[in-house]
């Protein structure tokens, strides 16, 4: 009798499909949860990187100001200079090369440190953008996808239920003795 309307083995296939879709929806929900947790970690890491960069940038600024003050006081202080001290040990040409070389090392090192701090700030911004993507943008899209798929699954389930009801009614009509 189940095959009268063509609903025999198809019922089992629909149940299997429904189960598969349900499993996939659960999987997508797990992915959403993972993304949120990872996004929270990325946001925390971004905050820590930014704080670290600011901490050392402040120290670098203080150091630069102190060096500026020392350089001003050295210019207004005693009449001797580093050049004079080095000149006592080296020939005049070598003294100039040594002093300018020391200034370049300090400037290069400071510039390299400044670049590292700027890169750390940039990385903090990148991690913050990734956190935004993982916490909000992607999960919201996946949530909408899950709702659409779940609605479609429910519609198929309702269609299956209605077809089962129609089949039952039809079977009842066929088995009821005809009074005409």
pLDDT in tens, 39-96: 999 999 999 999 999 999 999 888 878 776 665 554 444 444 444 544 444 455 554 5
Q: Are 33 and 143 contacting, i.e. CB atoms less than 8 angstroms apart?
A: no
Q: How far apart are CA 16 and CA 34, in angstroms?
A: 27
Q: How far apart are CA 11 and CA 174, in angstroms?
A: 21
Q: What DSSP state is assigned to residue 136?
A: I
Q: How far apart are CA 123 and CA 109, in angstroms?
A: 21
Q: Are 85 and 99 contacting, i.e. CB atoms less than 8 angstroms apart?
A: no
pLDDT at 172: 58
Output phi, psi for 75, to 5 deg.
-75, -35
pLDDT at 56: 93
pLDDT at 121: 96
In this model, does residue 177 exceed pLDDT 90?
A: no
Tokens (6 digits) for 174? 């066929």
| 3-class secondary structure, 2 | coil
pTM over 0.85: no
Tokens (6 digits) for 15? 């149940």
Tokens 């909000």 sit on residue:
136
Question: Looking only at Cα atoms, what is the longest distance across the chain?
Answer: 133
Average pLDDT value for the chain? 74
Model confidence band, residue 143 (pLDDT cutoffs 50, 70, 90): confident
Q: How far apart are CA 99 and CA 156, in angstroms?
A: 83
Q: Are 130 and 42 contacting, i.e. CB atoms less than 8 angstroms apart?
A: yes
pLDDT at 97: 53
Q: Are 64 and 110 contacting, i.e. CB atoms less than 8 angstroms apart?
A: yes
| CA 29 to chain CA mean position, Å | 18
pLDDT (average), residues 133-156: 82
């Amino acid at each position: 009798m189940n095959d009268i309307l063509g609903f025999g083995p198809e019922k089992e296939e629909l149940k299997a499909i429904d189960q598969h879709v349900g499993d996939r929806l659960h999987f997508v929900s797990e992915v959403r949860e993972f993304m949120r947790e990872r996004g929270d970690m990325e946001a925390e890491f971004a905050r820590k990187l930014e704080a670290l960069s600011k901490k050392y940038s402040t120290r670098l600024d203080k150091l630069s100001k102190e060096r500026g003050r020392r350089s001003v006081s050295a210019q207004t202080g005693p009449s001797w200079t580093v050049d004079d001290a080095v000149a006592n040990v080296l020939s005049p040409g070598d003294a100039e090369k040594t002093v300018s070389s020391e200034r370049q090392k300090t400037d290069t090192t400071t510039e390299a440190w400044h670049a590292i701090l700027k890169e750390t700030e940039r990385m903090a911004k990148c991690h913050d953008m990734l956190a935004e993507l993982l916490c909000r943008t992607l999960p919201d899209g996946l949530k909408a996808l899950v709702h659409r798929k779940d609605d479609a699954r429910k519609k198929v389930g309702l269609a299956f239920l209605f077809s089962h009801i129609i089949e039952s009614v039809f079977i009842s009509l066929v088995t009821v003795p005809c009074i005409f």
